[in-house]
Amino acid sequence: MVGHPVKQRRHDGAQQSYGLIVLGVTPDTVTEHERELAALVVLLARLGEECAPLGKAHTGVRGKALGFAFKLTGHAASALTLLRDKSALMPNGPRFLDGTSVFLLARAGWEAFLLFHWIFVAPGDDEQERQLRYRRWSIESVRRRQHFDVLLEGQKEQLEEERRLIDEVLEEIKANPAFLKRSLGEQKEVLREGSRWRPSFRDMAKGAGIAKVFAEDHYSYLCDHAHTGWFSVESLKGSHSEEEEQQLRQTVAISLGIAAANVVAGLQSLFPGIQAMTDLDARRVKHWVAEGQRKDVQLDQTSRPQEG
């Protein structure tokens, strides 16, 4: 089974904690790697539910890490659904594997894991550095919107409000001790809009201990098929061969499995004492974290952890 978290409301209108929408996955419609990914996604959603009250109680930004975990959960669940059920133009029409959409979901999930690790896990005990990274990242999209044309009523006021938010965050960053430790040149890069103030996704992956085959090769593979390039267009021109479909399914399931396992491990470090793990869960997470660090990995050699 696989699921993803959603906000649920009781009949009296009060909001409950994060629950789980469960999607059926039958053994004869998924690969072994996809079953492993499904188990990790369920674990990630369950762990996120337990961490939610801890995140709200924390005075820093650790609670914001849950958004990245839920984003990865949703993308992985959607990718599994497309791999299992495929797509169709009409309800009863012929079905086809939309590899481009699957790769888009896999890439978004992979990048959510990398940002999660770089912002929240990599700083370790340095809460000020964690705060700086999150706050600076949080205004990236808002800053880009300042250059949008005003087309609808109320947009001008919204942009002005967001401008005030940007200014407040920048002032907060300037007062952060982690910012003040940086050189003058580094400070300018942190503050400047459009600067390369953070590492590339490939470098984030390496910093998280991910082997080159995933940090660079698999990531490039995902990007090549997610963009409107030759690989992406050709993949939808005709049906996939059995071998091509198997490679696609393995790449997506293994990449997202490694991402999910690392986010689970990251949540454990951010919120010590969470109890949502069984012994098999712990072995599965350890196994898939290690798979992501293997330099000699082969797609057909990655498998499920030993039970018992």
Asked whether residue 308 is assigned to any structural domain, the reply reads no
Asked whether residue 173 is assigned to any structural domain, the reply reads yes
Residue of 143, 131, 132 whose CA lies nearest to 190: 132
Domain count for the chain, please give it: 2
Q: Answer positive or negative: Cα dihedral of 134, 138, 141, 144.
A: negative
Q: Is the pLDDT of residue 13 over 50?
A: no
21 lies in the same domain as 74:
yes
DSSP 29: G
CA–CA distance, 148 with 59 (Å, rounded to integer): 34
Residue of 141, 135, 76, 78 whose CA lies nearest to 110: 76
Range of the domain at 138: 126-199
Asked whether residue 238 is assigned to any structural domain, the reply reads yes
155 lies in the same domain as 235:
no
Q: pLDDT-based confidence at 171, cuts 50/70/90? A: very high
19 lies in the same domain as 61:
yes
234 lies in the same domain as 99:
yes
Asked whether residue 306 is assigned to any structural domain, the reply reads no
Predicted pLDDT of residue 276: 66
16 lies in the same domain as 101:
yes
Q: Is the pLDDT of residue 97 over 90?
A: no
CA–CA distance, 79 with 104 (Å, rounded to integer): 9
115 lies in the same domain as 103:
yes
> How far is residue 145 from each of residues 149, 213, 214, 267, measured CA to CA in Å?
9, 35, 32, 31
pLDDT tens digits, 225-251: 887 777 777 766 656 677 878 888 888
Is 47 in contact with 276 (CB distance < 8 Å)? yes
Q: Is the pLDDT of residue 101 over 50?
A: yes
94 lies in the same domain as 140:
no
Is 80 in contact with 41 (CB distance < 8 Å)? yes
Asked whether residue 43 is assigned to any structural domain, the reply reads yes
Q: Is the pLDDT of residue 146 over 90?
A: yes
Predicted pLDDT of residue 72: 97
| Selected residue with higher pLDDT from 121 and 4 | 121
Q: Is the pLDDT of residue 203 over 60?
A: yes
CA–CA distance, 58 with 176 (Å, rounded to integer): 18
Last residue of a domain, one of 157, 173, 199: 199
91 lies in the same domain as 175:
no
258 lies in the same domain as 132:
no
248 lies in the same domain as 190:
no
Asked whether residue 307 is assigned to any structural domain, the reply reads no
Asked whether residue 70 is assigned to any structural domain, the reply reads yes
User: Can you read off the two tokens belonging to residue 98?
Assistant: 């939309």
249 lies in the same domain as 187:
no
- Percentage above 90 pLDDT, the chain: 59
Asked whether residue 64 is assigned to any structural domain, the reply reads yes
Burial (CB count <10 Å: 0-12, 13-18, 19+), residue 92: exposed
Q: Is the pLDDT of residue 207 over 70?
A: yes
Q: Is the pLDDT of residue 200 over 90?
A: yes
Task: Give the dihedral of Cα atoms 180, 58, 4, 282; nearest 10 deg.
Answer: 90
Region 27-56: what's the mean pLDDT? 85
Mean pLDDT of the chain: 84
Last residue of a domain, one of 180, 199, 218: 199
pTM: 0.84
Q: pLDDT-based confidence at 3, cuts 50/70/90? A: very low
Q: pLDDT-based confidence at 305, cuts 50/70/90? A: low
Last residue of a domain, one of 169, 199, 229: 199
Burial (CB count <10 Å: 0-12, 13-18, 19+), residue 2: buried
User: Can you read off the two tokens belonging to residue 5?
Assistant: 């978290």
251 lies in the same domain as 102:
yes
Residue of 54, 50, 37 whose CA lies nearest to 110: 37
